[in-house]
């Protein structure tokens, strides 16, 4: 399972943006770049290239993709009709691991990716263990009956299963650990604080 496994706090401080909840907490405590000169480092002027690279890295780390995976997703977004930047985030949101996270079945995207990879999720009644699978409107996502007997999923049901607000493009039934894709996500449904135009400019250089 290829994904970033390094320190999220260090990356968050380097980007000046919390890539996870843990990264946000660390960034609030240490709001400066990592390294021994971090607290007293001078704010050097950031080049246009560095700005575009930083926006791309934000999105890549938040959604947990490696560079090749992110580049392939961008090329797919470029081929689709409409605005490339909007298409990119619609594709990122429609990844199965992100959907599992948005439903609250996983407390983080990393955990949601692990849940999918370990075969706990079904799409339209078929076990699907590919985190990058792109969901479509009308598809149903459920936790496998065999997996529901595990303590983790039992706790989810007992606690109401889902600490996150489920977006409007998804429906979710906590007691059944199941949901459905009812519409395509929009740009506002994706992660805020990222300028998709800078990402498009980065790949168009």
Residue 136: CATH number of its domain: 3.10.290.10
What H or E segment, with its residue span, contains residue 122?
strand 121-123
Give the pair of three-digit tokens for residue 184. 């395509």
Cα 161 from chain centroid? 19
Whether residue 134 contacts residue 91, with contact meaning beta carbons closer than 8 Å, is answered with yes
Size of the chain in residues: 205
Residue 102: closest CA among 72, 62, 74, 66: 62
State the pLDDT at residue 45: 72
Whole domain around residue 118: which residue ranges? 96-181
Residue 84 dihedral angles phi and psi, to the nearest 5°: -60, -45
User: How many domains does the chain divide into?
Assistant: 2
Please tell me whether residues 113 and 88 are part of one structural domain.
no
| 30 located within any domain | yes
Does this model's pTM top 0.85? My answer is no
State the pLDDT at residue 8: 62
Please tell me whether residues 83 and 125 are part of one structural domain.
no
State the pLDDT at residue 165: 81
State the pLDDT at residue 191: 86
Whether residue 76 contacts residue 88, with contact meaning beta carbons closer than 8 Å, is answered with no
Rg (CA), the chain: 18
End-to-end CA distance of the chain: 31
State the pLDDT at residue 159: 82
State the pLDDT at residue 1: 45
CA distance linking residue 174 with residue 176, whole number of Å: 5
Give the pair of three-digit tokens for residue 73. 């997703």
Please tell me whether residues 13 and 82 are part of one structural domain.
yes
Please tell me whether residues 67 and 17 are part of one structural domain.
yes
Please tell me whether residues 107 and 136 are part of one structural domain.
yes
Whether residue 161 contacts residue 185, with contact meaning beta carbons closer than 8 Å, is answered with no
DSSP 64: T
| 1 located within any domain | no
Q: How many CA atoms lie within 13 A of 26 on its CB side?
A: 19
pLDDT tens digit at each of 205 positions of the chain: 455 556 666 555 666 665 565 555 655 556 656 655 555 555 557 789 999 999 999 999 889 999 999 999 999 999 999 999 999 999 999 999 999 999 999 988 999 999 999 999 999 999 999 999 999 999 999 999 999 999 999 999 988 755 568 999 999 999 999 999 999 999 999 988 899 999 999 999 8
């Amino acid at each position: 399972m290829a994904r970033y496994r390094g320190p999220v706090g260090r990356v968050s401080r380097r980007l000046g943006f919390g890539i996870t909840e843990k990264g946000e907490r660390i960034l609030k405590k240490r709001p400066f770049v990592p390294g021994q000169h971090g607290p007293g480092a001078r704010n050097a002027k950031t080049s246009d290239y560095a700005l575009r690279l930083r926006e791309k890295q934000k999105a890549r780390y938040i959604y947990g993709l490696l560079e090749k995976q992110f580049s392939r997703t961008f090329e797919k977004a470029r081929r689709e009709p409409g605005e490339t930047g909007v298409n990119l985030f619609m594709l990122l949101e429609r990844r199965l691991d992100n959907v599992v996270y948005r439903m609250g079945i996983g407390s983080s995207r990393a955990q949601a990716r692990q849940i999918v990879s370990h075969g706990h999720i079904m799409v339209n009644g078929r076990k699907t263990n590919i985190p990058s699978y792109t969901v479509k409107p009308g598809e149903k996502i459920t936790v496998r009956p065999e997996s529901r007997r595990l303590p983790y999923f039992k706790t989810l049901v007992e606690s109401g299963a889902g600490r996150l607000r489920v977006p409007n493009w998804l429906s979710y039934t906590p007691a059944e650990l199941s949901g459905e894709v009812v519409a395509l996500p929009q740009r506002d449904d994706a992660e805020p604080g990222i300028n998709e135009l800078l990402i498009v400019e980065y790949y168009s250089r």
